[in-house]
Structure 1
Amino acid sequence: MIIYLNGEFVPEAQAQVSVFDRGFLFGDGVYEVIPVFGGRPLQLAAHLARLARSLAEVRIHNPHDPSGWESLLATLLEKNPGGDRSLYIQVTRGVARRDHAFPVGVQPTVFAMVNPIAPQNPAVLEQGVAAVVVDDHRWSRCDIKAITLLPNVLARQEALDAGATEAILIRQGLATEGAASNLFVVGDGVIITPPKDRSLLPGITRDLVMELAQDAGLPLMESTIPEQSLQMAEEIWLTSSTREILPVTRLDGRPVGTGLPGPVWRRIHGLYQDYKARLREGA
């Protein structure tokens, strides 16, 4: 694999970051993940806009304008050919002696790599996945895509330890999102997702799913989701850039709806696959 690091494209074995990097010492940085289909990044402008917002919110200088990022990422993809892939970008505040205060005169550390996206498991599409409900112990700025992900890691591991795929996080009685995904439920045939605020990440896949649903005329609303509503939901989905739209068919060991992926999910899944096909074709 060829890595981009601070202006250079190098083999991964040669990519080195200082132990004084603030990303290593403090988790002082942000990141972005962009899926690529047919060599074309999905919703690239939206991902770069979210990266720029995250950088601005934590007061790290954005090292590139959108055209600079596009050129960098295009070159990185050329140097790492393959099928479906994802681009990972990480920007930290840079290298400085350990001190909580922002350092002066330090350049951000910029790192990017390419990872393969595993094909969708047919069993997941037919049977769905299990999820568990977990208390949300994260900080109050979950709208920033920060690299400080320890609470997310612990929540995901709690789900795995329980034999589930993902954790659905609960804060003050409301379901916010998954440990690494956005949340949708279907009730009375209406698709519902929590509104954007500081308690959840403004997901790019989330926004695309909403757009596809609206274009197809499917009933959709943004509304808070009380924890008890999860138990009564006809369908539950979890969305992310690399896992797309996961149907949750078991929650805390109990079936969701019929216990199989529901008809609204199947419609949205089909629309999303059609969108990907058009992207691959350059349409």
Structure 2
Amino acid sequence: MGKIIFNGKIVDRSEVSIDIEDRGYQFGDGVYEVIRVYNGKLFTKIEHVNRLYESAEKVAITIPYEKAELVQTLEELVAINNLVTGIIYLQLTRGNFPRQHGFPSSDVPPTYVAYTREMPIPQASLDKGVRGLLIEDIRWLRCDIKSLNLLGNILAKQKAAEAGCYEAIQHRGEEITEGSSSNVFIVKGNCLMTHPATNLILNGITRRVILKICKENDITYKEEVFTVNDLMNANEVFVSSTTSEVMPVVQVNDKIIASGTPGPITRKLQQFFKQEIENLG
């Protein structure tokens, strides 16, 4: 995986250095995406690239590449690095400029970096389910932007890891928002529920695929706020993300969810999601 993209060109990783006054390094002033690669193909690449541009627009970073050009270079990078199953990480910062809190002048170009990494499908966890830990959501109020400012997420994820849990499930008061790096779903009765796509969550690409699957297969769902009590007493709980796919949560804190095994709707969604991957060809 020795080749990366740096400012639009594919180069050897050893040739690249980032300036100490890059605003991504000093302020977390930038945006990013993670794209899954299955069998050498980029999954939901257009949706990820569109969201990158949306996030950049929300923080007033102008991306100096056409979307089609960016996608083509990403596909070339996957091929050059012979990546079969893994991810592409890509980020843009506001560029290099002497440190000040205000934006640099408009002629300062952004810094764009992308690289590949092998990452297997977490099949054992998908089969058995994982544990979650409830944590108060202390993050800022623009969680809809996929920004580099992830300290709140990192602190939550670390607490979960220290408790032997896969994910931190965050809440503002009694309202469940999302995981530290995932969206959260519950099943109440026969209805799937997830937080609406407001400023309090990131509208995950896998989240969108799941809702599309529900529409196409007559699975009842609501984008509606639910509470900590709803989650703890749900028939099923799962989280979703680019790397976690449809990940069953079978225990939250000390509470076993339902039977303690992945539920039927979760299993059905896993199968439909697998078909989406197979449709890549």
1:253 alignment partner in structure 2: 254
Between the aligned partners of 2:8 and 2:224, the Cα distance in structure 1 is: 43
1:119 alignment partner in structure 2: 121
> Quick check: 1:84–1:117 contact (8 Å CA) kept in 2?
yes
Q: TM-score scaled by structure 1?
A: 0.96
Between the aligned partners of 2:9 and 2:265, the Cα distance in structure 1 is: 46
1:56 alignment partner in structure 2: 57
* Residue 14 of structure 1: how far off its partner (Å): 2.6
1:258-278 deviations in Å (ceiling 9; x for gaps): 100011101000110111111
> Quick check: 2:213–2:272 contact (8 Å CA) kept in 1?
yes
> Quick check: 1:168–1:179 contact (8 Å CA) kept in 2?
yes
2:169 alignment partner in structure 1: 168
Aligned with 1:118: secondary structure?
coil
Comparing 33-42 and 243-252, the one that deviates more: 33-42
> Quick check: 1:130–1:253 contact (8 Å CA) kept in 2?
no
1:147 alignment partner in structure 2: 148
Percent identical residues: 34
1:215-260 deviations in Å (ceiling 9; x for gaps): 1111111110111111111111100011111100000021011100
Between the aligned partners of 1:47 and 1:155, the Cα distance in structure 2 is: 24
* Residue 172 of structure 1: how far off its partner (Å): 3.0
CA pair 4-261 structure 1, distance change in 2 beyond 3 A = same
> Quick check: 1:236–1:249 contact (8 Å CA) kept in 2?
yes
The answer for unaligned runs of 5 or more in structure 2 is none
Between the aligned partners of 2:66 and 2:224, the Cα distance in structure 1 is: 34
Shift >4 Å, 4+ stretches = none
User: 1:65 corresponds to which letter in structure 2?
Assistant: E
* Residue 58 of structure 1: how far off its partner (Å): 0.3
* Residue 56 of structure 1: how far off its partner (Å): 0.3
1:67 alignment partner in structure 2: 68
User: 2:113 corresponds to which letter in structure 1?
Assistant: F
Between the aligned partners of 1:166 and 1:212, the Cα distance in structure 2 is: 24
Q: Does residue 228 of structure 2 align to residue 227 of structure 1?
A: yes
User: 1:209 corresponds to which letter in structure 2?
Assistant: I
Between the aligned partners of 2:140 and 2:64, the Cα distance in structure 1 is: 26
> Quick check: 2:95–2:110 contact (8 Å CA) kept in 1?
yes
* Residue 76 of structure 1: how far off its partner (Å): 1.1
Q: How does 1:157-196 map to 2 (within 5 A)?
A: 157-196=158-197
* Residue 38 of structure 1: how far off its partner (Å): 2.2
1:271 alignment partner in structure 2: 272
Equivalent residue pairs, number: 279
1:43-92 deviations in Å (ceiling 9; x for gaps): 11111111111000000011212111112112211211121121111000
* Residue 182 of structure 1: how far off its partner (Å): 0.5
Aligned with 2:211: secondary structure?
helix
> Quick check: 1:30–1:90 contact (8 Å CA) kept in 2?
yes
Q: TM-score scaled by structure 2?
A: 0.97
1:187-235 deviations in Å (ceiling 9; x for gaps): 0111111110000001110000111122111111111011111111111
> Quick check: 1:3–1:111 contact (8 Å CA) kept in 2?
yes
1:4 alignment partner in structure 2: 5
Between the aligned partners of 1:61 and 1:119, the Cα distance in structure 2 is: 34
1:138-181 deviations in Å (ceiling 9; x for gaps): 10000000011011000000001011000001013200000000
The answer for unaligned runs of 5 or more in structure 1 is none
Between the aligned partners of 2:141 and 2:83, the Cα distance in structure 1 is: 38
Aligned with 2:251: secondary structure?
strand
Between the aligned partners of 2:64 and 2:186, the Cα distance in structure 1 is: 38
2:85 alignment partner in structure 1: 84
Comparing 50-59 and 3-12, the one that deviates more: 3-12
* Residue 9 of structure 1: how far off its partner (Å): 2.1
